[in-house]
């Protein structure tokens, strides 16, 4: 395993990976304001957040006002959703080439895709421009009295150590713990049930639970749907396309028939809400099986979730490239191909426009943002981008002044039956999809516990709803109503709960609807622009995962190297 360290459930973790320097934010505005398709009239940037540091792992500001951490749309919507007005207000795009900064590679976006791209291209000394106040995208974390808890993406799936992304993680020296889902627990109406896949919630039908487990294991080992399609994989093109064109719900019902227990189906439903921001009736069977069959083969968990990856990348890149190579709080407004390269113009912290002239550019933002940065994308590419949908999710962080054994990583909360009404209506009855034990990777903490409650929002208006002024109070209120019961079921004292913090993410979930991937829409949306502008983001393949973001970074690396080698 080289330098890669794996800690199993039966092992004791003697130490944790270095989290990097902690930071304090002066304040964090709660989400509010206009949906993405509304032009906000105020073009001036919000300046209420003063950044002391921009690391992905940050110390929570204890005196911060109530509100969502995570995305802050106020920083971007007034600019990009009225780009022409914003550029004019700041004096137009710079034209004096003598003021341009020069670089071989400029990377727009400092999430996992952008940071991975910078790592893979670090011999070219890339420049990374991130618009948020902290690097890491939705792979961020905060600390609370010695506990590091993830705010967004939580884990990576099991993989061979020869895979390129695993080699990178090993080189970064990350220490993780292996989570084996074979003995998953399940939460139903205030009770934690053990050994779910062996009939822990309904012993009389234990064989049906095992049939579901065996089905996903067969898929993983003998009929795995690679995304994108791999001609060397288990499936023929025809088999893979047929699987992508049907829904995950239909495939599971067809495969298990009468052995599909309602508890199993509800776990699949809640898994899709949490992992895709969509119902199992909305996503393709190829995408659903790719995710769930992989996860049931085990996963690696780091302190702070995937923020440990982004923090390790930040630490390494600053060491290799210098402290000025990764820059946050710089909102890129325009990316355009010119005769001598690519001009990337951003709004600096000095409230002025600046331009970088790069030989190549990697745009590591969601495509609906990229299309606003690049004015002259072809109509076919814009049409493809318009077909990609995104959904939102929320994470509640429950801080408990009491330790707990780290005997689970992800505990799903199920009702065991189909929704009574619409998915949006059902969400009020199911305030969270799953509970992640933030102290799992460190094998617990001697004094306290943090529970991350994920709340996928599986409906199309979720992003706009999340930005409304009343969203924070409403979603927090729903969680407050169920936290005491959950805490008690986990053997903790509800009186020891010290706080509930909230992180909101407006657009990290890409929805792989049936037929979308096999139709080539994500590939058309990610077509390189004029031989010098490339795209690296998880929506390159319409799947939301670190592994997909890294694969997109590899594709961008290969294309950039080909240009620079010529």
Start-to-end CA distance of the chain, whole Å, equals 37
Note the pLDDT tens digit of each residue in 177-219: 999 999 999 999 999 999 999 999 999 999 999 999 999 999 9
- Report the alpha-carbon distance of residue 253 to residue 260 in Å, rounded: 7
Quick one: angle between helices 546-565 and 164-171, nearest 10? 90
The DSSP code for 86 is H
Positions of the chain with pLDDT under 70: 1-52
pLDDT of residue 238: 98
pLDDT of residue 279: 97
Q: Rounding to the nearest 10 degrees, give the CA dihedral for residues 540, 544, 550, 552.
A: 0
* Helix count and strand count (H, E) for the chain: 17, 22
224 C-beta neighbours (distance < 10 Å), count: 20
- Report the alpha-carbon distance of residue 487 to residue 283 in Å, rounded: 32
pLDDT of residue 15: 28
249 C-beta neighbours (distance < 10 Å), count: 20
pLDDT of residue 76: 86
pLDDT of residue 507: 86
* Architecture of the domain defined by 180-297+391-508: Alpha-Beta Complex (3.90)
Dig out the tokens for 249 from the structure. Answer: 């719900």
447 C-beta neighbours (distance < 10 Å), count: 11
Dig out the tokens for 464 from the structure. Answer: 């706009």
Q: Is the dihedral of CA 39, 40, 43, 49 positive or negative?
A: negative
- Evaluate whether 374 touches 565 at the Cβ level (below 8 Å): no
Task: Find how far residue 296's CA is from the centre of its chain.
Answer: 19
The DSSP code for 203 is G
pLDDT of residue 37: 37
- Evaluate whether 133 touches 329 at the Cβ level (below 8 Å): yes
pLDDT of residue 364: 98
- Report the alpha-carbon distance of residue 517 to residue 230 in Å, rounded: 13
Find, among 378, 330, 386, the residue nearest to 107 by Cα.
Answer: 330
- Evaluate whether 456 touches 434 at the Cβ level (below 8 Å): no
pLDDT of residue 50: 41
Task: Find how far residue 225's CA is from the centre of its chain.
Answer: 21
Could you tell me the strand order of the sheet in which 186-188 lies? 69-70, 497-510, 390-400, 449-457, 434-437, 410-413, 186-188, 191-193
Scanning the structure block, which residue is given the tokens 């550029």? 87
Find, among 471, 552, 547, the residue nearest to 70 by Cα.
Answer: 471
pLDDT of residue 207: 98
pLDDT of residue 73: 82
228 cis-preceded (ω within 30 degrees of 0): yes
- Report the alpha-carbon distance of residue 301 to residue 211 in Å, rounded: 27
pLDDT of residue 63: 78
- Report the alpha-carbon distance of residue 48 to residue 157 in Å, rounded: 38
Task: Find how far residue 545's CA is from the centre of its chain.
Answer: 6
Q: Residue 428, class by beta-carbon neighbours within 10 Å (0-12 exposed, 13-18 middle, 19+ buried)?
A: exposed
């Amino acid at each position: 395993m080289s330098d890669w360290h794996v800690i199993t459930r039966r092992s004791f973790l003697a130490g944790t990976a270095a989290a990097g320097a902690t930071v304090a934010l002066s304040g964090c505005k709660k989400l509010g304001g206009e949906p993405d398709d509304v032009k906000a009239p105020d073009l001036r940037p919000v300046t209420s957040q003063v950044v002391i540091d921009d690391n992905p792992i940050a110390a929570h500001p204890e005196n911060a006002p109530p509100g969502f951490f995570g995305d802050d749309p106020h920083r971007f919507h007034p600019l990009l959703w009225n780009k022409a007005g914003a550029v004019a207000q700041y004096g137009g795009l710079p034209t004096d080439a003598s003021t341009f900064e020069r670089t071989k590679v400029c990377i727009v976006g400092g999430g996992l895709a952008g940071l991975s791209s910078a790592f893979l291209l670090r011999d070219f000394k890339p420049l990374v421009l991130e618009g948020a106040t902290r690097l890491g995208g939705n792979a961020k974390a905060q600390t609370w009295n010695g506990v590091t808890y993830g705010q967004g993406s939580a884990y990576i799936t099991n993989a061979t150590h020869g895979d390129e992304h695993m080699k990178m993680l090993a080189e970064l020296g990350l220490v993780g713990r292996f989570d084996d889902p074979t003995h998953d627990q399940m939460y139903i109406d205030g009770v934690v049930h053990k050994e779910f896949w062996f009939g822990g919630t309904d012993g009389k039908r234990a064989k049906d639970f095992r049939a579901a487990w065996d089905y996903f294991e067969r898929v993983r080992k003998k009929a795995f749907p690679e995304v994108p399609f791999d001609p060397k994989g288990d499936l023929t093109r025809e088999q893979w396309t047929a699987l992508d064109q049907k829904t995950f719900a239909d495939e599971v019902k067809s495969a298990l028939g009468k052995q599909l227990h309602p508890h199993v189906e509800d776990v699949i439903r809640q898994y899709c809400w949490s992992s895709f921001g969509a119902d199992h009736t909305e996503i393709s069977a190829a995408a659903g099986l790719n995710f769930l069959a992989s996860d049931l083969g085990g996963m690696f968990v780091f302190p702070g979730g995937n923020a440990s990856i982004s923090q390790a990348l930040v630490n390494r890149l600053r060491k290799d490239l210098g402290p000025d190579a990764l820059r946050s709080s710089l909102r890129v407004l325009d990316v355009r191909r010119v005769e001598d390269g690519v001009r990337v113009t951003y709004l600096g912290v000095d409230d002025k426009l600046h331009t970088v002239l790069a030989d190549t550019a990697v745009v590591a933002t969601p495509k609906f943002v990229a299309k606003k940065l690049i004015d002259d994308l072809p109509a076919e590419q814009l049409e493809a981008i318009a077909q990609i949908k995104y959904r939102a999710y929320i994470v509640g962080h429950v801080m408990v002044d009491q330790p707990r054994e780290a005997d689970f990583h992800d505990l799903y909360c199920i009702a065991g039956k189909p929704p009574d009404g619409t998915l949006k209506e059902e969400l009020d009855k199911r305030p969270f999809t799953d509970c992640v034990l933030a102290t799992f990777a460190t094998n617990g903490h001697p004094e306290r516990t943090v529970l991350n409650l994920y709340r996928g929002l599986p409906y199309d208006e979720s992003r706009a709803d999340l930005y409304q002024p009343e969203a924070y109070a409403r979603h927090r209120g729903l969680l407050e109503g169920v936290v005491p019961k959950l805490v008690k079921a986990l053997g903790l004292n509800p009186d020891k709960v010290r706080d509930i913090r909230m992180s909101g993410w407006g657009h990290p979930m890409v929805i792989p609807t049936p037929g979308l991937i096999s139709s080539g829409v994500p590939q058309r949306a990610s077509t390189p622009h004029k031989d010098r502008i490339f795209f690296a983001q998880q929506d390159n393949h319409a799947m939301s995962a670190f592994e997909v973001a890294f694969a997109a970074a590899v594709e961008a690396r290969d294309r950039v190297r080909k240009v620079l080698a010529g």
